[in-house]
Homo-oligomer: A and B are copies of this chain.
């Protein structure tokens, strides 16, 4: 590997001048600049990242810590982050598939000193643990995490999806179609998204003055299988619901399978709606109504926020807490439209 010294020698200048050219800092005569560029290319010189980092204290890298999330969601969010980072000439140090707190903590440690900031997505990890494991001055953006705003302003910026509003809107839509008995298939209890969607469901029913008996509020765990079984249970009720709101699309897809297996027509006999609008939704039979989450935008905004935080260098004192809006996507499964 050629070093800056080799280039300097070949171009007959000092290393300082070469450095200036590669950072276009300071004035350099056009002639020398060209000479240096030429020398660099023939030598295939590329500045060494580590040396640069050591010298400047900047890594030009953002760290990304993700839980073990599902296919579509994962790639979309990475796409958003990657594109934004690259546009700003930042690299991406990725660590994914963390399903427990220890794993995330370990990852945070190994990233220390290798990144200028961190984007952390942690379904179940509280701010306190985070703060304890991170250098006090490392910029961090929390993605769709439980942000503990009660204890005064947190150290971290955060981005969230409007789970509550999205769920409420969908359930109200179902109500507007005339459904009086609307069931929900819940997500994992400890999952914040799931909890907020459940709250949205209940708020909608309250607003619409509809009943929400316990028997139509079934447990699920975000998997297709759990949606499948929940749907079967609902069919066995003395009075089955006329609409099912599944807390995510996977469970909705599972529910559709179960209904099809039992020859229940959707949406004629029972309407079904999901949440997330994963790509499969539009290829389900019937096509699935859902609540779209702006996934790649989530990634983009997170990165923008983080870079801003990095570049403002601790000057910005206020923390950002943004909630991204969701949108209703009405398809065949809820009978409201033929799309």
Residues of B within 8 A of A280 (CB): 279-280, 283
- Whether A82 lies near B96 (C-beta < 8 A) is yes
Chain A contacts to B: CB under 8 angstroms: 1, 44, 46-51, 53-54, 59, 61, 68-72, 74-76, 78-79, 82-83, 86, 89, 91-97, 109-114, 135, 224, 253, 257, 260, 279-280, 283-285
- Whether B112 lies near A46 (C-beta < 8 A) is yes
Residues of B within 8 A of A260 (CB): 285
Residues of B within 8 A of A283 (CB): 224, 253, 257, 280, 283-284
Q: How far is the CB of A239 from chain B (nearest CB, A)?
A: 29
Q: How far is the CB of A118 from chain B (nearest CB, A)?
A: 13
A72 and B96 CA atoms in complex are apart in Å by: 15
Residues of B within 8 A of A82 (CB): 94-97
Most buried by B among A46, A75, A260, A283: A75
A91 and B59 CA atoms in complex are apart in Å by: 14
**Given A91-B95, A92-B93, A113-B49, A1 contacting B135 (CB threshold 8 A):** yes
Please list 28 pairs of residues, one from A and one from B, whose beta carbons are closer than 8 Å in the complex, sorted by A's number: A1-B113, A49-B114, A50-B50, A50-B53, A50-B54, A50-B114, A51-B54, A61-B93, A70-B75, A71-B76, A72-B75, A74-B74, A74-B75, A78-B94, A79-B96, A79-B97, A82-B96, A82-B97, A83-B97, A91-B93, A91-B95, A91-B110, A91-B114, A92-B94, A93-B93, A260-B285, A280-B280, A284-B285
CB-based closest 9 A-B pairs: A50-B53, A285-B285, A74-B75, A71-B72, A49-B114, A50-B54, A46-B112, A94-B94, A48-B113
Residues of B within 8 A of A46 (CB): 109, 112-113
Chain B residue nearest to A2 (CB atoms) is B135
Q: How far is the CB of A185 from chain B (nearest CB, A)?
A: 16
Residues of B within 8 A of A76 (CB): 71
A308 and B256 CA atoms in complex are apart in Å by: 47
Residues of B within 8 A of A68 (CB): 79
Excluding A50-B114, A70-B75, 6 further A-B contacts by CB distance (< 8 Å) are A46-B109, A46-B113, A74-B78, A82-B96, A83-B97, A260-B285
